[in-house]
Amino acid sequence: MRVTVIPGKSLTSEHSLLWSSFQQANSELSSPFFCPEFTSAIAAVRKDVWVGIVEEAGKIVGFFPFQRRKIRSLGYPIGGRLCDYQGLVIKPDVTWDAAELIHGCGLKIWKFDHLIGSQLPFHKFHRYKTHSPVISLSDGYNAYDLEQRAKPNWKARSNWIQEVSRKARKIEREVGPLRFQAHVADTALLRLLMRWKSDQYRRTGAFDCFAVDWIVRVVERIHATQQKNFAGVLSALYVGDEVAALHFSMRSQSVWHSWFPSYDRKFEKYSPGLILLLKMVESAQTLGLQTIDLGKGGESYKQRVANAAVPLAEGSVEIPSLISATYQTGRKLRHQIKKVIRLGLVASSTPSRGVR
């Protein structure tokens, strides 16, 4: 296996066509995050994007996008916190080695946090296993609806579709008629979504990704990309003439990946975000999409609406070196500090049995 590293901006149309052919030949790589267009969107606004081109017997057999930071031997997934799926896009039936791949890219360490769990060469580098909940619509919406009706739920007498449909009828009675658009090209609505999300991030104390210029430019670029195999999708739910909820996502040929959902807080009691999600589920089949991927996360609504999951992993590939040894020492130290903090919190929450 030979790896040649090129800047992300140097990908040619021939590279992209070959990349797409490898991706489409493997259902495990069906996420839009594995599309060459996603890497190209990041590379268009950042200078630290690289692609390892894997060759076997003089022929290209794979593509591995990654980013470097200030220390060039440290590698990270393409797009950083934006990237919900990570791994090597490679031609089926090619034998490869994860450490050899990372070394060939000129890296001593490659960290990952959304690595697809199905790529066996990476397994020995997994430290934590997790998953991405998905709504599988391979048998159509009606089959999914019946499946949800049969799903036991001790918290509610009705399933989420019935509850959300009831709220949809209520908002129509009390406010106005609902209207759904699977995709709107209006950039003003995209900016409105970003404002809503920034407000949410500030309220909850989360990192505001839309305060970062390059992320805004990537999202705008993807929103403007409308191709058969890859597109940005801005879905909208209107109540009368008002926008009640927006949901920016990406799609490949078969997967609709949820990315940035948000809504107008004045409609909060009607759950407009879930109404919009239900409209997306209902329309996915007509758009030729078989899966709505909700992205990794423990939000309760994801667990309730999902009927399948994609295994993911966190960890790092570390090539023996001084920098990887230093990294391992630092990781062990951070783990011990967290352990001490957890033990301290448990101890402080235990009722005292001493003098009252």
Determine the average pLDDT of the residues in 35-40.
98
Identify whether residues 125 and 45 lie together within a single domain. yes
Determine the average pLDDT of the residues in 106-110.
95
Using pLDDT thresholds of 50, 70 and 90, give the confidence band for residue 352: very low
Identify whether residues 121 and 157 lie together within a single domain. no
Given a cut of 70, whether residue 153 has pLDDT beyond it is: no
In sequence order, what are the beta bridge partners of 60? 55
Identify whether residues 92 and 162 lie together within a single domain. no
Range in 301-305, 317-321, 340-344 with the lowest mean pLDDT? 340-344
Strands 126-136 and 89-90: unpaired
Identify whether residues 151 and 110 lie together within a single domain. no
Identify whether residues 90 and 178 lie together within a single domain. no
Q: Give me the domain span that covers residue 267.
A: 139-289
Between CA 316 and CA 37 the distance in angstroms is: 25
Identify whether residues 52 and 6 lie together within a single domain. yes
Q: Look at residue 330 in the predicted model and tell me its pLDDT.
A: 66
Give tens-digit pLDDT for 43-89: 999 999 999 999 999 999 999 999 998 777 899 999 999 999 999 99
Structural Rg of the chain based on CA atoms: 22
Residue 146, token pair as written in the block: 């019946």
Identify whether residues 112 and 198 lie together within a single domain. no
In sequence order, what are the beta bridge partners of 52? 5, 64
Given a cut of 80, whether residue 216 has pLDDT beyond it is: yes
Given a cut of 70, whether residue 265 has pLDDT beyond it is: yes
Residue 74, token pair as written in the block: 């440290």
Q: Environment class of residue 106 by beta-carbon count within 10 Å: exposed (0-12), middle (13-18) or buried (19+)?
A: middle
Who contacts 45 (Cβ-Cβ below 8 Å, separation ≥6)? 214, 217, 218, 221
Give domain status of residue 296, yes or no. no
DSSP string, 111-164: EEEEEETT-GGGGGGEEEEEEEEEEE-TT-HHHHHHHHHHS--TT-SS-HHHHH
Give domain status of residue 305, yes or no. no
Give domain status of residue 353, yes or no. no
- Amino acid at position 116, single letter: I
Identify whether residues 16 and 101 lie together within a single domain. yes
Residue 52, token pair as written in the block: 């390892």
Identify whether residues 152 and 281 lie together within a single domain. yes
Give domain status of residue 349, yes or no. no
Backbone dihedral angles phi then psi of residue 141, each to the nearest 5 degrees? -65, -40
What is the pLDDT of the chain when averaged over all its residues?
91
Range in 101-110, 142-151, 179-188 with the lowest mean pLDDT? 142-151
Give domain status of residue 98, yes or no. yes
CA angle 227, 232, 236 (to 5 degrees): 125
Give tens-digit pLDDT for 223-241: 999 999 999 999 999 999 9
Between CA 125 and CA 99 the distance in angstroms is: 9
Using pLDDT thresholds of 50, 70 and 90, give the confidence band for residue 331: low
Between CA 317 and CA 293 the distance in angstroms is: 26
Q: Look at residue 349 in the predicted model and tell me its pLDDT.
A: 46
Given a cut of 60, whether residue 347 has pLDDT beyond it is: no
Given a cut of 50, whether residue 356 has pLDDT beyond it is: no
Question: What percent of the chain lies above the pLDDT cut of 70?
Answer: 89
Give domain status of residue 276, yes or no. yes
Residue positions counted in the chain: 356
CATH at residue 80: 3.40.630
Give domain status of residue 225, yes or no. yes
Give domain status of residue 213, yes or no. yes
CATH at residue 200: 3.40.630.30
Give tens-digit pLDDT for 273-282: 999 999 999 9
200 three-state secondary structure: helix
Q: Give how many domains the chain has, as a whole number.
A: 2
Identify whether residues 171 and 255 lie together within a single domain. yes
Identify whether residues 193 and 102 lie together within a single domain. no
Identify whether residues 153 and 203 lie together within a single domain. yes
